[in-house]
Every structure is written in C-alpha cells, then in structure tokens.
Structure 1
C-alpha cells in the first residue's frame, strides 16, 4: 500500500465501520420534518375550523337577520323636549326610491364596480389581495386606516353592522359577506349596494341621488360625467358631493374616470370630455324644510358626541331629544324670509345674515338660522368667523377692566386724540363729537366711542384682555396681541355662536355654559346612549357680570342699540360694525354689522353682511338693522316665556357707587364793560370741591364746551366777542371720587357793541395782573388753531366744530355727569391759551383704527 493511501496514524481505514455523524444528522432531520408535518397539519385544521366558524358565524347572522335585507333602515327621529317630532332624518332632503338592477344602466354598474371593487365579479365576497394591502397600510399607520371592503362587505356593514374600524368588526363583516355570496347572486348584491349606499345631503340610493344632484329621474339618461360624479361620492359623501364641494367633486370625478379608462371601459377622449363639464346645481338640490339649520347642527353634534358615522346615525333608529324652542325657531325663520328686514342689494347677490339664540342658564340652543337662503348641509354662518367690531369691547376691554377691581361703570376713561405703537395706530370713530376728553365707562360704551376702549385696554394690558376673552371661550392667536382687538380687529374673526356664548356669561352672573343642541339620545331599544350633563363654569366675578350688564343696558335704553328694545322686557347688548376698508371705495358703508344682546331669559347674536365683501357688495346701513331684527325675533320667541330678572350679587353693597356732589345753585352772570369780561359767581356746593364752567354762544359755532375749571366760586371770562350772547352753566366736581354733579341752572349774558368803541379805562388792571391761565388780551379770532392734543389755540376761544350736538348734557343718574365736550383737553384751559388743550383744534384726521361703530338712528 502506498503511503498516500494510509491514514495519518499509519492505519488503513476500515470500510465496514458505521459513520455515527451522518446517522445523527438523519435522525435530526427526521424529527424536524415530523414537527413540520404536525404544525402544518395543525395549521390546516385551524384554518379549516376557522373558515367553518367564519362561514357558520356569517350564516348565523344572516339567517337571524334575513328581514333586514328587505327592510329599509329604521329612520332616526329628532324631537323637541316634549317629544314632538321635528324630523325623520332619512327623508330630510329627499326620499329613498328603490330601483331594480335591470333598470340600472350597465355603464352605471361598471363605474361603481371599477371605483369601489374592480374584482367584484372574481372574488367570493372577500378580496384577499385587498385585505393584504389594507393590513400592510394599517401596520404602517399603527391603526385601522384602510377599509379594503368589497362591495359585498359594504352591503354587510350597511345592513348588519356599525361602522367601527376594528379587527373584530372586520372579521364579522367578512363572514357575513361570504354568507351573502352563498345566498345572493352578484347582480342581487350589486342591486342591494346601489340602493343602500349613502350619497350625502340626506340621499340614499342611486335613483334619489341622481334626481337630487342632476334632476334626472330616468337613470338611462345619465351622462358619463354625471355617472362618474355619483360613483365618486360614497368614499366620503360630505366631501365629494358636488353641492358642498364642487372642486373636490370634480377632482374625485377625475379619479373615477381614470379608473374606468384603465379598465378599458371608456376612451381617453371620453374621459377628457367628461372632465370638461362644469357642475351646475339644479333646483332639486336647493329644496329646504323647516328647522333646516338647526337640524343640520343637531346631526353634526350627534356625530361628535356618539362617534357614529352620519349614515348610521340617521338610519339607526335613534331618537335625538333637542333643546329647540319651536316658537322662537319659527319666528326666526319667518323674519329671515322677510326681505324687508334686510337692505336691498344692487344685484342678485343678496345681503346675508345669521342668528342664534341661547338659554344662558344652561347653554341650550333655542333657535338658529344660518342664512337667508340656507339649504340642507349648507353654509351655516352661525358657526363662521366674522369681524365683530365694537361688540367685542365688553369681552376684551370693559369686562376685564371691571374684573380687575380697579374700574367701575362710573370710572372716568380718556377720549383724547392719542396714537399708539409709535404713532402707527391712531383709533378714531364716526361720532360727530370726537375726543371729548374725560368720559365715564358707561357713557363711552353707550355712545360706542372707540378711543376709551383702546385707552382702557392699554391701561390694563393686552394680555389681560386676551386672557379674559379666553375664559369666555374665545381663544386669540399670537397675531392678535395688539390694541386693535379692543375694537374687534381680529385676524380670524369670531362666529355668532361664539359671541352669544361669551355674552351669556354676562347674562348669567358670570357662569359660562357649554353651547349644545342635544339633551339626550336613545337607541331603537329606548336605551340612553348619550345625555348632556355639563354644568356652567364660573369664569368671572358676579359683580363683573352685573356691572357689564348694567352698562350694556344703557346701550339699549339710550345708546347705539335703542332699536333692540323689547316691550315689557329688560334688554342689554352691544352693537358692532366693521369698516369697509376697500381701496378705491370712498363710502361710509361697512363689512359687517352686529347686535349681540340678552334678556334675563335668553342671549342672542345677530350678524349681517355679504359672504364676500367687494366694491359692489357691502353693508350700507348701520348696526341698527341688526338690533331691530333682534327685537322682532326675541319679542316673538319670548312671548310665552316666563319673565325673569338678572342676578344681583350679594356682595354688591361692598362696592357701592360714590355719590355725586349736589348741583350748583345761585349762578349769576354779568357783563363788565369796563373790564371787557363776563363775571360769574355761584354758591358753594361743599368742601373739597372744584367747579367746571361750561359755555356756548349764539353764533352757531357749536354746543356747550368746557370753558374752565375753578377752585373758587367765581370765574371771569375774558375770551368774549362783541354782539354775542353767551350761555353758561356750572357743575361741582369731586376729584377724589371722580364724580361730577348735575348742571346748574343756566344764565345768559350778552356782550354789547360798546366793546368796539369804548376802550378800557386807564384804571383797568394791567394784563400782567390777570390770572395766569387767562390770555393777556381779548382774542382776535375764533377758533384756535392748535394741531395736536395738549396744544392750545393761538389766543382763540374753544374750538366749536367738534362740540357735542346736544345741550346741556346732564344725566338722570349720579353715575354719569354731563359729557365733557370736545375742546376740553386733559391739560388745557378753556380759553385756548398757551397751555390750552385739545379744544384748540385738531387739524389733520387721525389714521383709522380699522373698525368703527356708527350710532344707530333712534
């Protein structure tokens, strides 16, 4: 034997000895295959058992509920608090009509199959490829996001199941689908599908949808673009129906047409032609019914609180108990249908409006109209944001100021020509009497003066105002951290519903309720599935709500909101207008007009304006028309409602209003020809008081203006002209309490022509001996010519062009003395001297603050 044939140990290998390693490997392989066999066998057994269970479960459900195949869903009902039915939901907007498969054109069938389930004629109820794709997407998203339902599964879901996207529900849905395929033909299943699918806008079934959206009663007359539009709706009925979203509908139509082309059902040319047609809403899609806005709002709220999809909610046999007051709702719909309540438009585009009424005690929504032409599922303007104008002042300025404890209705604010933000923001308003100086909060809001609201917000801080608004349910973004919010200058605006909710806190004594239209929902078995239980949250002091209510009552009793008065009812509220602000349009018109107000029973908000404001479409009248509509509707709605009273805080006596001084008596005025002056004297009204002297003349230059403040009980007026009759009155002023008395009786003094021909005698005191605040000689012209606040005229008498239009301005309440007329600057004297105030004139109009409030005509 050669050495190469020997083993390393020098021994010849034994060919007869067994190889132990190979034997072990074979043994292991045998065990593995045995285990794999049993695992496979177990898997097959489990699969068979599972499949049988699925089939048996589907057969069981189907056999138990066979009647549902021939039963149209049980309509849900909307009722009022007494149980009176307002609406059956499945018929709202159209009746369901069943159509046999033989009467449904083949092209219609093909479009739905191509879009919803292109393997419909190939699978047995469940599309395994579709399920696999859906599972992958669900795993990636970590939630059930992909439906993967076949047409048969959709029939199973719509008839037998709820719409929850869970694995258990999907499994049951598949089992029913398999059972359906065993008992129904493909045509029968497709017929069930096309007659039960939801098309949005309250429309179920292909026939009613075709009639509603296209006014086509005979399905054979549907055109390709219409068929594709209908086939695209079921994926998301509220998104893809052409009435709500024509752009989204067109986009979805393109998807359907592309699918049909890919599957060889239409040509490219047919697709392009069908895409080019523009949808025009027919009259059949604009029918309305009673309570339409309210019912739509109820359905949306019900979806939110139950989590049910719309079609299941509407056809599940639920009873929805609402908070509606049908008398108020009917009154609102009646007045919104009356064109005389709205100003006439220049063309077919009519001015719009919206209104909502709330019970402030619990947040119940009493009535609601979303527009003059509101149709089902339409544009509900009650929930859309608009600029609120001066109606926002109590929310962001007056309310938080009173809440701070530093301000009260009788507190004096400033109405001066002031610019903020380095001169970039100079608020003004349309009042004929601008910048009247000191003015009480009650008078400032009654006359809807803008500068005091801005001045006050500047004093308390924008953050304070924003935080207070947030407590009332109105969240303002970072872009609204500025003084313009005092006048309602908001980036996104607020809705009538938000305004009514915020004002309800003032009406209820400081408690903010949660707005709701549903009291309770029960299912078809009478079991309660939802019940409203939220309680109002106290968001401000009771005294704050009381004082805000008090000043808002003044707006209605004698301010800009007088047209909102209701006979026999106490009304508080605030008007609001927003400036037009269109470049190139010189007009006193507005974008929006508001009235937000309340009685002790209900709170309401009214808005009027155009959906799109432009050079032709804007509001030409003031907020008085909104106030008048409030009065009409609330008067009718409250007719049989028991009268209540506003809550009065128990702690109110701790913050009693200071008492105003007694009125001045014994006023005497005489013309002194030698001194060329008018000398006034009067009786003292008490210790620690000063006196304010008011004057007007008979030249027609204006009304009463503040002439001077005196520490003694006498005053000498040197700023006089010949042949002019002057009328004077005097008030007492308590600087500590910031209270002014009622006006004294008036006196008249006539300056004779002797002034022109008779020079002062030599013994007259020299000018240097006159009081320092008086001019050294009689003025040579009138009025003064100062240009900025705090700058007096050049020897002129008080400017008269901006004086008040009423005389005198006494108040019947101690809380508000006479209005301080224009021309009374904070630091100026009445004679327009070197240290004169704003009465020296205000040449140059200030920049507009963006929002104004025009007083309503009485």
Structure 2
C-alpha cells in the first residue's frame, strides 16, 4: 500500500518578526512600486586587529632567547655528560675500530684489512717539533686555542653541507678526528657528529694538547695499511727514527690524511707531490720553514725503492684495487672501509691469482737488467662473460712499492690496431677479413710509417694476413680509407678517452699521446670476445656492514651492443690467425682452447739513439671464457733501460698463466652469429711436386689444377736457415713453375696455394716438399791444369784453335763485364755482370768446362753459348727476365724489396 505525504512550504515572509523588519518590508514595497530596487548589503563580522608594539616584540625576543639559551645549556650538559660517559667507559682501553675482512669468490676469507702489526706507537717526546707543527698547520691551525671544537670551521662546514644538501664537509678538529678514530663508526650522520663533538670536548678537558696530538699521530690512517706516524715513516721512507725525516718527507706525510688513497706517494706519486707542495706552502706561510726550504722540498722526486712494506701482503694488488672500487661504489673513504668492520666479498679467483703471482716471482720470465732497476710487468685476467676480474698483479715488486701498473698507461703499439683500424673497418660492413689492403711504401700527408717485417712492402695483402704478420702499412692505409674520426669514435665506444692530440693516422699503430692501461685493453678486447657487447669489469660483488646489513650489492648494468655480432666474429677470426703458425703470437696456446689475440711492440723513441731495442711489449688475448692483457717494460725508459726482446716474451707469459689457471675449466668455443657472411676459400692444391734439375740448375715445381675460374696460384719457399715461409711468386695461372733463384749447398722447402681473385680468398697450403741443392764439382781439363809451352804450336794461338786464348766472340771470355759474355753463369750475376734479379751467384766460367757447361744469358734471351761456338740451348724454355717462350712454365724471380 503506497502512502502519500503532503508537503507544506512556509514562506520566510511568514516567519519574519514584527518591528524594524516589518518597516523594512514596507520601504522595500514602496521602492518596488516606484520602479527602484534596493541594493542588497552583505554584513560581515569585523575582527579586532592585534597590534605589535615594540614592547610585545621585545617580550617575544626575550622569551625566545631564553628558550634558546636554556636549550643550549641543557644540550651542552647532555653533550658533556655523554662525552664524559663514553670516555670513562673506554678510558683504560681506547678501543680501535673493527677491522674489515675481504673474501674471495667462494666466500673464503682472504685477509683482514687491519691488524695491530700495522701500527707502531711513539711517544710525543720522540716526535720532532716540525713534524707535529706541520700536522697542526695542515689539519687544525687553531688546535692549541680551541677547547676541542672549532666553531669557525663548524660554521663553514654547515654552510657547505646546506649548499650541497648533504654532509660533505667535515670541519673536524684534530681532537674530533681522534674521537672518531677511537670510539665511533665512520658514517656522516647528525647523531654521530654530535657524539663526536661530545667526546672531543671530554678529551680536551681530560688531556693536554700534547697528549691529544700524540694519540692522534699514533692512530691516524696513512693509506697502504699503515696506521700511525711511525708506521707511515717506515713504510714510505724506510725510516724508523722520526728525527731522520727531511722537510719534504714531513710535508708528504702531513698531506696524506686528507685522502690517504689519493695522496700517498706509493699509489700516486704525482698527486702526492702536488699535495706536498700545498702543505709546504702552508708551513711557509705559518713561519715553520723558510722559502728556500720550501722550494727545495717541492722539487724532490719520491723514490719508491726506499719503501719498506709489511709482511702481510697476500694478494695485495687485487685487494688494493678492490678497496679502491669499493670506495667508488659506496662513497666511503679508505679508512672507513678498512676500519669499519665490513664484509667485502670479491671476484678473486685464488687459483689464478696464486699462479700469476708465482710467475711474477720467477725472474726467468723477464729480461735481465744491467742495474737495480728491474724489467717490470703487469697482468690482468677477467671473465668477459660476466665482467668478473679473476686475478691481477701490478708488478714484480708490488709488495714493496704498491704501484699497480695494471692501471698505469703505456704505449700499446700494434695491439691497438684492432681498436682504431681493423675494428671500425669491420664494423662499417664494407670490409671483411678477406678484403684486400695495400702494403706499399707510402707517405700520408707527411706521415711515413715503415714496416718492420723482414719481407717489406708486399703490395696487396688480405686483412687477415696483414694483422697476422702485424704489418704496419696496411693498418695505416686502412685507417686512411675509413677516416681518423671513425677510428677515434670506435675507440671511444670501447672505453678509451684519447687526447684531442691523437687525431692523426699514428693511432693506427698505437702511437698515442698518453697511452692506455692493461685494464682498458682488457675491457676493449672483452667486447670482441663477448660478441660485441659491453663488459663491465669489476671486483666487488657484495659489501655488508658489521651488523650483517647489505651496504652494497653488485648489479650488472644493461649491456650495450658496441659493435655488431658479425663484426666481433670477424675480429675474433682474424685475431685467431695471429696465434696460428706464421703469426706473431703463434706461441699463445691455452689448454687446447681456441685463442685470439694481438701482440704489440713500441720502439724506444729516444732521440739520437740508433737501436732496435723496445720501450713496451704487449700481448692481449682471449679464449671463449677469459680475456687477459700482459705488459712488460721499464718504469723509467732511457738508453740504458730498454727491452732487447720483442713481444714474444709477453706471449709466453700469457701462455704460462692461462694454461695453468684454466687447466680444469670446462672448454667452450667462440659462438658464430647466424647472420655472418662468409665465403669459402678455394680447395687446397693437390699433387704438388718439386724437383731439382741438375742440368738446368733450377727447381721444377708442378701441381694439379683446382676447380674454379679466376683461380691463380701462390708459391711459398723457406730456406733451411729462415724462420718463416715467404711468398716468392703471386698470380701464377699455370700449373708449373721453376725456381732459378737458388744456391748450391742449401736446402729449400716449398708449398703452393690457390687464390680466388673474385673472393680474394686463399686456400690452405699444399703438402710441403723439401729439395736439397748439391754442390757441383768441376773437373778441369789436363791442358788447363798443365798448359805447357805457350809458344808451342796448337797452344794458345787463336789460329791453332788453342785453349790459352778464347776468341773475342762472346763465347765465354771473362774480360768485358758484358752479361752476354761475362764470367757469371747463374742468374743473379757474377763479378763480370749483374743479372736482373740482383742476387750474387757464382759458378765456373763457360770456357773451363770444354763445352759441357753453357753460359746462360742474363738478359733473358733464352740461349746457351758453348765455349767452342754457339748452339741452341735449353734457354728457349727458360725465360730469365720475364719473356717466357713456353706457356706451361714460369721462371720465379723473387719480388724486389
């Protein structure tokens, strides 16, 4: 049942009270009747305004100030009581911070970063006044005036923190630094800074300034695991007595605490020297030293041989590098990381590191020096599949001087050719391993490179062959073709920040302004090995604080395709050729694995010195799993400190370390991309034969033809005393040839290959054939050995046909120097005349063999002259100077150098 409701509306007019409102209604009605509308007025309640008088302002300020003073007093007492409480609780022991621990890749502890062995205490009376004053001048010049806190410095620090919006400025006094080192963690928080200030005030009330300075100098961190001034003096200068320190040494030590890893002279001698100059200037301005003392101390160069390292130096190069990396990723100081009780987990492969360090200790792996300066070296191994650094050694005596040469730039030589020449060419897609380059003696806008190969300037050469033999001209020629800018851009993508002065063709051969480091070379070659993808080399995987909380965990950045997979594959192919027979790195063999790599050698570059000795030698190579770089050379190169050997010694070192370190690792292979364009070379040549023909005095070569059009043949020869085969003839389109440039009593080895002019590919070598060339004995006639009376009939007179004087008709008389009638028989000339090929040859003159031996013409007319007259000879089939009379046979004349 639906209910109905009645709604009644009541007019406001019915509820208005009588009186003034009724009068208002009447007036409104009158105005409406007259046509005027009364304006509506909005009534608001007015609020009273509070007046701020001077009296009120003073009252507010008074109470505010009183509140601030009260809070300050309360805060001061709290800080004071807190500082006294902490100091009293630790007054008898003065505990040091907790040592951090480093772990290897398997979670095994390697070492603690700090032990009591790193610290030696010294009494204040044993500290020279100049040494103590130097630290005051640098670290806290108002040290003897304030009560533990320097409010001027604190104010400056607060302003800088506000500007930076973070705690970046310490503003700490010597007393505050002592408080931090004795009792506190190293984080920059307001609470920690307040506690530090409270302890500083307590220290200043309970100890004299000299006592505070003594404790400070015995506890401050000086880098390289040295804590305390005495340990630092012994470490860096080998001086146990602080009174033996010179002015420049004092200034060096005083400059270290600001940034121990950056300003210690072992790690960074140049930065240390710059910091020393700043300290000396402050000491001079505060009247501690004279200007002459300052100038003299600024000029001294640090000698790392004076350093004296502690005994606990296990895996030191790797650990020190890892600490530097940890500083970068956590934004903490070295002191904080070493003394903060952290767990630092690394990528260290203990097996590989141990093997590498053992090889560096073996002096037989390095050239012998003529004095105390050793030939140095550096090596790094990394897994390019994940970027983990497996091992590194920074030098033969890293434990002594702590100089990590893995991150020191040197000139890379030919090992840089893949970076600036071959790499960008392959990346362009216009060049391939089989592309033909030029190896000609040529200058490029005034730059005239030269080849160091025994067989120089061979003309056309494939990219694979050019890099295999490390030829210089093809690399420069190729960079000139693609453009220097292209080469620089490619190098930049691989991580090299080259100088603006390097915009020239010399970079194709590794001629750089500042050089590159083994670390950078490993990074770049890892890209080749990793299919063209970027590789982030690192040593730190995880860092936990003393409470077990994760401070940092490595996360690999997204990889970038720095070069196409096809270009990376081609690069690997041509670099594998370097490690094969005939390549400059042929001795690089790693446990039956495929190996690619490149050698590098730089000349000494000393003006006025004529020597074949070298400045730097390299080998950078990789397997499908690991990439490694090896460098050797002297730290300071001069005429007495040069390498006599070439890059072969770095190849041998690479092989020793990698073979042992990878012995039990699973083997893999380089992965070929699916889109690789690849043309097969011609099939190998069969039926190759080489025979010495005594009557002709040459070696006859023959073989079976291979299928295909535009196929020619290349003949290679090696004399027994030569290390490698040489190509002695190109583009032979016949199936036979002859070698006339031979010498009696020598042994030769030959092989032949097929070459396709369309694809510019060469086949594998044929079977090798060895040929021995005998020494021919010449029997002289009796009438020559016993000539008798020259005046007797029939002896010596031309009309009698005697043998004493040969008619001047060109039949063998050695008197004119004419090649047609000269003494020399073999091609290459004799004392009488020089044949076209320019080789020195010698045989019996034709007039001595009674007609059994002919005189072969040097001009290539293909005739032999008999001593008693002319007759057609075998020379018709033996063109000596490029004028063949028989198409199936070709004379071999070595290419002119």
Same fold (TM over 0.5): yes
Task: Say whether the 8 Å CA contact 2:700–2:737 is kept in structure 1.
Answer: yes
Q: 1:511 aligns with which of 515, 530, 533?
A: 533
Whole-angstrom CA distance in 1 between matches of 2:231 and 2:749: 79
Secondary structure at 2:650 match in 1: helix
Q: How does 1:54-65 map to 2 (within 5 A)?
A: 54-57=76-79, 59-60=81-82, 63=85
SS of corresponding position for 1:475: coil
Trace 1:533-612 onto structure 2 (pairs within 5 A): 533-535=555-557, 536-558=559-581, 559-612=583-636
1:689 is aligned to 2:713: no
CA contact (8 A) 2:728 2:894 kept: no
SS at match of 1:390: helix
d(CA) in 2 for partners of 1:383, 1:625: 21
Q: Is the 8 A contact 1:319 1:522 kept in 2?
A: yes
The match for 1:95 among 99, 115, 118 is: 118
3-state SS of the aligned residue for 1:46?
A: helix
Which secondary structure does the structure 2 equivalent of 1:194 belong to?
A: helix
Query: In the TM superposition, what whole-angstrom CA distance separates every residue of 1:32-66 from its partner, at most 9, and x where no partner exists?
Result: 25523531441242133134225425644764686
- Aligned residue pairs total 745
Corresponding position: 1:204 with 2:227: yes
Q: Write the distance in 2 (CA, Å) between the matches of 1:507 and 1:56.
A: 63
**1:668 to 1:30, Cα distance in 2 relative to 1, 3 A:** closer
What are the residue-to-residue correspondences of 1:696-775 with 2, within 5 Å? Answer: 709=731, 733-740=755-762
State the alpha-carbon separation in 2 of the partners of residues 53 and 695 from structure 1: 93
- Does residue 1:178 correspond to 2:204, yes or no? no
1:511-566 CA distance string (max 9 Å, x none): 22111111111110111111111144332222322232222222222111122223
Contact 2:441 2:457 in 1 (8 A): yes
Mark the CA change 1:646 to 1:59 in structure 2 (over 3 Å): closer, same or farther: farther
Contact map agreement 2:284 2:290 (CA 8 A) in 1: no
Partner residue, 2:418: 394
Q: Is the 8 A contact 1:664 1:731 kept in 2?
A: no
CA distance in 1, matches of 2:576, 2:235: 49
SS of the aligned residue for 2:217 comes to helix
**Cα distance in 2 between the residues matched to 1:267 and 1:286:** 33
Structure-1 residue corresponding to 2:14: none
Counterpart position of 1:47? 69
Q: Structure 1 residues 225 and 492 mapped into 2: Cα distance closer, same or farther (>3 Å)? A: closer
Q: 1:323 aligns with which of 341, 347, 368?
A: 347
TM-score using structure 2 length:
0.70
Question: Residue 600 of structure 1: CA displacement?
Answer: 2.2
When residues 800 and 462 of structure 1 are mapped into structure 2, their CA distance, relative to the original with a 3 A threshold, is farther
Give 1 or 2 for the bigger CA radius of gyration. Answer: 2
Match of residue 456, structure 2, among 409, 420, 434: 434
Please, which runs of 5 or more residues in structure 2 have no aligned partner? 1-49, 774-805, 810-823, 841-878, 884-892
Equivalent position of 1:824 in the other structure: none
Against the structure 1 CA distance between its residues 545 and 741, is the aligned structure 2 distance closer, same or farther, given a 3 Å change threshold?
closer
Which residue pairs with 2:469 in the alignment?
A: 447
CA distance in 1, matches of 2:324, 2:716: 62
Q: Deviations over 1:104-153 (max 9, x none)?
A: 67776566445544544443322234445666788999997764422222
Q: Secondary structure at the match of 2:587?
A: helix
**1:622 equivalent among 646, 657, 661:** 646
User: Which among 531, 539, 543 is matched to residue 521 of structure 1?
Assistant: 543
Contact kept, 8 Å, 1:577 with 1:593, in 2: the verdict is yes
Verify: 1:478 aligned to 2:539, yes or no: no
Structure 1 residues 363, 714: CA separation in 2 closer, same or farther (over 3 Å shift)? closer
Greater relative contact order (Cα 8 A, min sep 6): structure 1 or 2?
1
**Contact map agreement 1:55 1:179 (CA 8 A) in 2:** no
Question: Who is 1:425 aligned against?
Answer: 447
Q: Write the distance in 2 (CA, Å) between the matches of 1:108 and 1:695.
A: 73
Q: Which residue of 1 aligns with 2:385?
A: 361
User: Structure 1 residues 651, 186: CA separation in 2 closer, same or farther (over 3 Å shift)?
Assistant: same
Distance 2:265 2:739 in 1: 78
Structure 1 runs not aligned, ≥5 long: 1-27, 751-755, 760-778, 785-794, 802-828, 843-858
* 8 Å CA contact 1:691, 1:730 repeated in 2: no
TM-score, with length taken from structure 1? 0.73
SS at match of 1:629: helix
State the partner residue of 1:649.
Answer: 673
Q: In structure 2, what is the Cα distance between the partners aligned to 1:225 and 1:449? A: 49
Q: CA deviation at 1:394?
A: 1.9
8 A contact 1:125–1:153 mirrored in 2: yes
Partner of 2:790: none
Counterpart secondary structure, 1:356: strand
Counterparts of 1:138 and 1:742, CA distance in 2: 70
Answer yes or no: is the 8 Å Cα contact 1:664–1:730 preserved in 2: no
SS where residue 538 of structure 1 aligns?
coil
Deviates more, 1:96-105 or 1:501-510: 96-105
Contact 2:688–2:752 (Cα < 8 Å) also in 1? no
Is 1:464 aligned to residue 490 of structure 2? Answer: no
From the superposition, tell whether residues 106 and 458 of structure 1 become closer, same or farther in structure 2 (CA, over 3 Å): closer
Instruction: Indicate the residue corresponding to 1:791 in structure 2.
Output: none
1:195 matches 2:221: no
Q: Determine if contact 2:360/2:396 at 8 Å carries over to the other structure.
A: yes
Separation in 2 of the partners of 1:469 and 1:441?
A: 19
CA drift at 1:621: 0.4
Deviation per CA, 1:325-356: give whole Å up to 9, x if none. 11111111111111111111122211111111
CA distance in 1, matches of 2:737, 2:385: 58
Which of 271, 277, 283 is the equivalent residue of 1:251? 277
